[in-house]
Amino acid sequence: MKRSSRVGKKGRTGFSGSRGWIAAGTLAAYAVMGGTRQALAYEEKVVGAGSGAAGGAEASLPLKRFNIGAGPLDEAIAAYEKATGLTVKVVLPTGTLAGFKSQGVSGLYPEEEAMRLLLEGTGLNYRVEDATTLVVGVQAKDSVSVTASVANEVSMSKFTEPLLETPQSVSVVPQFVMKDQGVSTLRDALRNVPGISLAAGEAGAQGDNLTIRGFTARNDIFLDGIRDFGSYYRDSFNFEQVEALEGPAGVQFGRGSTGGVVNQESKVPAVKQFVNVQAQFGTDKTRRITADINEPALDVMGGTAFRANFMGQESGVAGRDYAELRRFGVAPSVSIGLNTPTHATLSYVHLTESDTPDYGLPWLANGVAPGPIRHHYYGFPDQNYLRTNDDIVTLRADHEFTPNVNLHSISRAANYPRQAMITEPQICSNASASVPVGGWVPSLPTSAVNSKLTCAFTPASDPSTIVVNRNQIQVKSVEGDLWNQTEVTARFKTFGIKNALAAGVEGGQEISNPIRTSYTINNINTVPSATLLNPNTQQPFAGTGYITSIVHTKSKSVGLYFVDTLKLGQHFDLSGGVRWDRFDTGYNLYQPTPPTGGTVTAAVPPINRIDQQPTYRAAFVYKPSSHGSIYFDYGTSFNPAAESLSLSVGLVNGTAEPEENQTYEVGTKWSFLNERLLMEGALFRTEKDNARETDPTNSNNIVAAGNQLVKGVQFSVVGRLPDGLDIVAGYAYLDSEVIYSKFFPTSVGYPLANVPKQTFNLFVTHKLPWRLNAGLGGNYVGSRTASSTVPFVPLTYGPAKTFAAGSAPCGVTATTCYQVLSTGMKQVPGYWVFNAMLRRPVTDRLELQANVYNLANRFYIDLPHPSHLVPGAGLSALIGVNFKF
């Protein structure tokens, strides 16, 4: 019931007719044709205390359930105070209030909307005096000021308790934060979450790639509680909020979720009519327009509402001259039965992307290649592309048997086609293992252009002499998802103890069908190379390409779970849960006959693997007051061999049993100013056993023999305070290390890949004179290594030395060895980035907003990968026009 905006008995219909949908058509036409940037909008005159004009804000505020019947207004206000915790001051002569009657309010509403309905027909209005007090009296309606509280619940029904009492680190990035920062992607929204770091896309899987508390989470991204399996870059135009649930999550979400999960909450139809339009123009030829249109029809089918979101964008990337983004999205949805026990929402999301992708800069030894190369592009702008065409259909139905027993069912069919042709710049081959000073290796690094030759370049080489290999990543794939999740939530008593139960079953199938192409023949890349300092971006693309593999993978899975929370009196909660998952994957690979000298993919017979395993969770919560909690949480999760729908002979025939994870967490949460300020902190420890490792000398030898550990602490605060002061801040300290490795013993004690020891984020907005709102903040990300298994690499070597057969220190079959004279950590340095915002309302319906990013124009590596490095965007600015009715 948390996400449905049910209409109360006194719900109000707005204007009817086609005006909103004409606006929608106009905006859609703009997104496709690049036409006018004007649109209609509708909104009551409500001045926002924290973010300028509220502009439909009630659609996104936290909802509370009200059940206040018609009767004397003084009794209704008393009931309102009890339901919200707010104080209501009545500014009327003594005894006057008793003469007023209220028509009551029933249903789920934001606090301010519920008060408006209570006062409807009385001739009275209200205003917000501060974060905890409303004043009722005879005021002009235009003087109403709305201050929204921060989110205090997770959108998914499987979490039965408010955030304050949920024994887990949960960071919610609400709509007002994304609006203030001009966020347009999931990646940028997650920069507000401590403990999360971003990484570049993999060779065969593009799209959002991240780590949560030190462990990869590319497959732990969810949309409305269902795994969002596609490899694509997610746009925020249809987000209500983003939720990062760090720590134990295996019981609720199934496979993976080692460090946690990210859930995107979609916008859904609301009970209030509004149209919000935002147009942004900026540096790097940025043009972006979004529209959010909501049209209720409360007298149709027990309460119906329609909502549509549109997005169109074309832009470059600051400091990266050839990278381009072109996106179009549409997300219509309809809800029925909003004022009945049974209500449903049908939604559709279509997102198209046609980019000129950028895999950035090459490594050389342990760092970024030398020279003034910050703005260089090593690809073929007219040949490189990333095209996705995602379609996601979701049906959610909820039925309320009683106020304490509810049934929730959500079904999804999703299709994620993807085509990519991306150039990855390389200079030397990657080291297969770390070798300490004094150790011996059988060969020197090879050239990335021709792996038969020794690489001629080191960090001391003249940059003008360095040649860059243009490795081509070409893939065509379709991922798909067909899924259902059905859940019962119930509140009841057993032996006098209150219980809050969430139990469910989910299952379906996921498919992945990648076709991969290579341009390497006889160990030589047939695509022309480039020079490090002067890459020729106008050079025609050439090369002999051939298909190396055609893969079809299908996974069928099912999961059963329950989580129960026992209320042991007023101050103590005890919760526990169990889940069982079965993950059945079939894999087929075929390679057409390659050209002479082409790469031959090892023959793989059809593979089938089944992993099934339980996961557990237990937690204890102590609530010293109604405004705070202290908790302890323990949970397990597992990563099956085919977690990302990728298998090999080694994964099936080797000892690659599921990776097993255990997390311990102790933390505290506190709210202040009537839930306007939420603070939390946690101390945690996560250990992964059976970490999979691939033998560097035999790719078919994969074993589950590693152990990895992350310990840390994190803090966060989100607040909407009086006088327009908004704040979002977070800090995380992560101490990660490899604690055992069979094939890579020299990695023991070194940090895991893409895990900065410290991260920090802060963004504060505040009212200024002349109706201005200003925001300022920044992000700090500490240094990160590129690999968990090869954290450091040799930098210099001694001369070749010949040994008798069988006596060489660099291998049983080797006779020539080179001694390592020095090594270096293969890592990217930490960085600070600062951003600013300025906003001013022009009228009650129109406001202007400017955002400036990377104020200092810092050069930094934003998205690292073991084989390439993607720089962060340089100094850039956006001017936005927000229009609403």
Per-residue 3-state assignment (H helix, E strand, C coil) for 640-654? CCCCCCCCCHHHHHC
Question: What residue ranges define each of the domains in the chain, with the CATH number in brackets?
Answer: 64-137 (3.55.50.30), 274-431+446-790+825-884 (2.40.170.20)
**Amino acid letter at 671?**
S
- If one counts every other C-beta atom within 10 angstroms of the C-beta of residue 399, the result is 16
Question: Tokens at residue 515, please?
Answer: 């076709």
Q: In whole angstroms, what is the distance from residue 719 CA to residue 502 CA?
A: 29
Residue 626 confidence (pLDDT): 86
Give the model's confidence band at 62: pLDDT under 50 very low, under 70 low, under 90 confident, else very high: low
Give the model's confidence band at 339: pLDDT under 50 very low, under 70 low, under 90 confident, else very high: confident
Torsion sign (Cα): 852, 855, 857, 861: negative
Give the model's confidence band at 11: pLDDT under 50 very low, under 70 low, under 90 confident, else very high: very low
CA 153 to chain centroid, in Å, comes to 18
Cβ atoms of 686 and 710 within 8 Å: the answer is yes
Q: In whole angstroms, what is the distance from residue 350 CA to residue 498 CA?
A: 43
- Using the predicted structure, report yes or no on whether residue 692 has a pLDDT greater than 70: yes
CA distances from 147 to 41, 133, 176, 794 (A): 22, 11, 11, 58
CA 598 to chain centroid, in Å, comes to 39
Helix (H/G/I), strand (E/B), else coil: 93? coil
**Amino acid letter at 877?**
A
Picking from 185, 147, 347, 183, the residue whose alpha carbon sits closest to that of residue 278 is 183
750-777 burial by CB neighbour count: b if 16+ within 10 A, else e?
bbbbbbbbebbbbbebbbeeeeebbbbb
- Across 12-26, 641-655, 789-803, 833-847, least confident range: 12-26
Give the model's confidence band at 648: pLDDT under 50 very low, under 70 low, under 90 confident, else very high: low
Q: In whole angstroms, what is the distance from residue 326 CA to residue 356 CA?
A: 8
- Across 36-45, 489-498, 680-689, least confident range: 36-45
Q: What residues contact residue 360 under an 8 Å CB cut-off, 6+ apart?
A: 200, 320, 425, 861, 863, 868, 869, 870, 871
Quote the pTM value.
0.84
Give the model's confidence band at 490: pLDDT under 50 very low, under 70 low, under 90 confident, else very high: very high
Q: In whole angstroms, what is the distance from residue 377 CA to residue 396 CA?
A: 45
Q: In whole angstroms, what is the distance from residue 677 CA to residue 163 CA?
A: 12
Picking from 511, 428, 527, the residue whose alpha carbon sits closest to that of residue 477 is 511
Residue of 128 and 14 predicted with greater confidence? 128
Q: In whole angstroms, what is the distance from residue 741 CA to residue 709 CA?
A: 12
830-868 burial by CB neighbour count: b if 16+ within 10 A, else e?
bbebbbbbbbebeebbebebbbbbbeeeeebbbbbbbbb
Picking from 251, 244, 248, 250, the residue whose alpha carbon sits closest to that of residue 265 is 244
Picking from 749, 755, 754, the residue whose alpha carbon sits closest to that of residue 733 is 755
Residue 96 confidence (pLDDT): 57
Give the model's confidence band at 676: pLDDT under 50 very low, under 70 low, under 90 confident, else very high: confident
Assign 3-state DSSP to the chain and report helix, strand, coil percentages, each to 5.
10, 55, 40
CA distances from 463 to 65, 114, 427, 499 (A): 66, 67, 11, 67
Question: Tokens at residue 65, please?
Answer: 């359930």
Burial (CB count within 10 angstroms: exposed 0-12, middle 13-18, buried 19+), residue 451:
middle
Q: In whole angstroms, what is the distance from residue 1 CA to residue 65 CA?
A: 10
Q: In whole angstroms, what is the distance from residue 471 CA to residue 469 CA?
A: 6
Q: Give me the mean pLDDT over the 294-298 stretch.
A: 91
CA distances from 300 to 19, 268, 274, 339, 654 (A): 18, 17, 18, 10, 60
Question: Tokens at residue 327, please?
Answer: 């996106």
The DSSP-derived string for 374-426 is TT---S-TTT-EEEEEEEEEEEEEEEEEETTEEEEEEEEEEEEEEEEEEEEEE
Q: In whole angstroms, what is the distance from residue 365 CA to residue 329 CA?
A: 41
Q: In whole angstroms, what is the distance from residue 779 CA to residue 196 CA?
A: 12
- If one counts every other C-beta atom within 10 angstroms of the C-beta of residue 340, the result is 14
Q: In whole angstroms, what is the distance from residue 531 CA to residue 463 CA?
A: 9
Question: Tokens at residue 801, please?
Answer: 């030395």
Q: What residues contact residue 495 under an 8 Å CB cut-off, 6+ apart?
A: none
Question: Tokens at residue 212, please?
Answer: 């949560």
Percentage of residues in the chain having pLDDT higher than 70: 89
The DSSP-derived string for 288-306 is EEEEEEEEEETTSTTSEEE
Q: Give me the mean pLDDT over the 785-805 stretch.
A: 94
Q: What residues contact residue 714 under an 8 Å CB cut-off, 6+ apart?
A: 169, 194, 195, 246, 681, 682, 684, 730, 731, 732, 733
Give 554-575 pLDDT, tens digit per residue.
999 999 999 999 999 889 999 9
Quote the radius of gyration of the chain (alpha carbons, Å).
Answer: 29
If residue 714 lies in a helix (H) or strand (E), which one and from where to where?
A: strand 702-721
Beta-strand (E) ranges in 131-179? 133-137, 145-146, 169-173
Give the model's confidence band at 185: pLDDT under 50 very low, under 70 low, under 90 confident, else very high: very high
Picking from 120, 14, 35, the residue whose alpha carbon sits closest to that of residue 70 is 120
Instruction: Give the position of tokens 């990660």.
Output: 736
Helix (H/G/I), strand (E/B), else coil: 84? helix
Helix (H/G/I), strand (E/B), else coil: 497? strand
> Hey, what's the torsion of the CAs at 206, 208, 210, 216, to 10 degrees?
-50
Give 394-408 pLDDT, tens digit per residue.
999 999 999 899 999
At how many degrees (to 10) do helices 73-84 and 111-119 cross?
Answer: 170
Q: What are phi and psi of 194, to 5 degrees?
A: -70, 145
Give 431-467 pLDDT, tens digit per residue.
999 999 999 999 999 999 999 999 999 999 999 999 9
Question: Tokens at residue 467, please?
Answer: 């040649």
Cβ atoms of 331 and 348 within 8 Å: the answer is yes
Residue 145 confidence (pLDDT): 35
- Using the predicted structure, report yes or no on whether residue 87 has a pLDDT greater than 70: yes
Residue 10 confidence (pLDDT): 35
Instruction: Give the position of tokens 């200079």.
Output: 427
- Using the predicted structure, report yes or no on whether residue 360 has a pLDDT greater than 50: yes
Residue 322 confidence (pLDDT): 95
Instruction: Give the position of tokens 């004409």.
Output: 22
Q: Give me the mean pLDDT over the 327-342 stretch.
A: 94
Q: What are phi and psi of 778, to 5 degrees?
A: -165, 175
Give 510-527 pLDDT, tens digit per residue.
999 999 999 999 999 999
Give 588-618 pLDDT, tens digit per residue.
989 899 999 998 877 778 888 899 999 999 9
Residue 596 confidence (pLDDT): 92
Residue 848 confidence (pLDDT): 96
- Side-chain-side CA neighbours of 244 within 13 Å: the count stands at 23
Picking from 261, 214, 68, 27, the residue whose alpha carbon sits closest to that of residue 883 is 27
Cβ atoms of 666 and 659 within 8 Å: the answer is no
Q: Give the chain's mean pLDDT.
A: 87
> β-strands 659-672, 677-694: how paired?
antiparallel
Instruction: Give the position of tokens 């917000």.
Output: 128
Residue of 655 and 732 predicted with greater confidence? 732
CA 355 to chain centroid, in Å, comes to 20
Q: In whole angstroms, what is the distance from residue 177 CA to residue 3 CA?
A: 20
Q: What residues contact residue 93 under an 8 Å CB cut-off, 6+ apart?
A: none
Give 413-429 pLDDT, tens digit per residue.
999 999 999 999 999 99
Give the model's confidence band at 368: pLDDT under 50 very low, under 70 low, under 90 confident, else very high: very high
- Using the predicted structure, report yes or no on whether residue 773 has a pLDDT greater than 60: yes
Residue 158 confidence (pLDDT): 87
